[in-house]
A = this chain, B = another copy of it.
Amino acid sequence: MSELRKDPIIGRWVIISTLRGKRPSDWGSESFRARGGFCPFCPGNEEKTPPEIMAIRTMTTEKDIPGWEIRVVPNKFPALQIEGELKPRGFGNYDMMNGIGAHEVIVETPKHSADLAELAESQILQVLQVFRDRILDLKGDSRFKYILVFKNHGMAAGASLQHSHSQLIATPIIPKRVSEELNGSKEFYGQKERCIFCDIVKQELAAGSRVVSETEQFVVVEPFAPRFPFETWILPRQHYSHYETMPATMYEGLAPVLKESLTRINLALGFPPFNFVLHSAPVQDSPLPEFHWHFEIIPKLAKVAGFEWGSGFYINPTPPEMAAEHLRAVRI
């Protein structure tokens, strides 16, 4: 079983895979496994993944056979495992607990070489609804304090399989970056009785220079102080702290906005590797007046030098105003 360990100085929790630890000789062999080879996510290969957790099927109700549109399976090499107890324990200054959690893969399409941005809006809507449904299901387990939904697209962005998929990790702790956002927005709310994200939406729409696109429900912006070139946020205009409990029409509005945003990035930057991460409020919390869910999309363009990891200090060579201008200029 893996372990969750806490850095004693800054309080960051890290997942340490203690069982199948990578030895030095394992490090040379990383490659894009699916390139031209066998794909465990393609229809017909269902037995190569663990049994499915859920699927969207139109033709049949039978599990683990072709005929699905979207398929959710446990990660075959999970960072966290679902069975067991947390057993928090300490040792001198160190804190740790068992690596309990869930790690699932959402296969977004049966087509091997269709990227998320190329799927029909109706298919993207189903993916977004599956994110919601998996969160709603997993939040019933009170051991899970947070559910991270994210996508690694392309090898440079950490994907090990090419077939379009997202992932979900349910964790017994709140990830550090998320706590920072929660704390920052709580402090702001404490001072002003306003949600900082609602403020940002208003200020960005008024300024205009960092806005990529807007609809009745959503705003797509390059944030004011982005770490990475072309870092792009999708925010709902209306205040919702939790992704999973919005009215149905919000997901319907989000699907075309996500498709359009990824398409703009693809066309402006030549189909770069990218990641997105859903930032939503902790699943066990009631609706929060101070926090506002959003998507963060990060194209993988710059090499992040180690000093940026070591210092938390980022140098971004592309001003967000310039990035927004380029993304707006894309003809789609």
Contacts and interface: CB of A to CB of B under 8 A. Distances in A.
Interface of A: 3, 5-18, 20-24, 27-28, 30, 79, 92-94, 148, 150, 152, 155-159, 167, 169, 171, 175-178, 180-181, 183-185, 188, 196-197, 199-200, 203, 223-230, 268-270, 272, 274-277, 279, 296, 298, 300-301, 303-320, 322, 326
A49 B308 CA distance: 24
Contacts of A296: 310
28 contacts: A8-B196, A9-B196, A10-B181, A12-B312, A13-B225, A15-B314, A16-B320, A17-B316, A17-B317, A17-B318, A20-B317, A22-B229, A23-B318, A23-B326, A24-B268, A24-B269, A24-B270, A27-B270, A30-B303, A92-B199, A150-B307, A158-B308, A167-B307, A175-B313, A178-B311, A276-B306, A276-B310, A298-B309
A170 to B, nearest CB: 12
A36 to B, nearest CB: 20
Contacts of A313: 13-15, 148, 169, 171, 175-177
Given A315-B15, A318-B22, A275 B310 contact: yes
A309 to B, nearest CB: 7
A204 B23 CA distance: 22
A148 B311 contact: yes
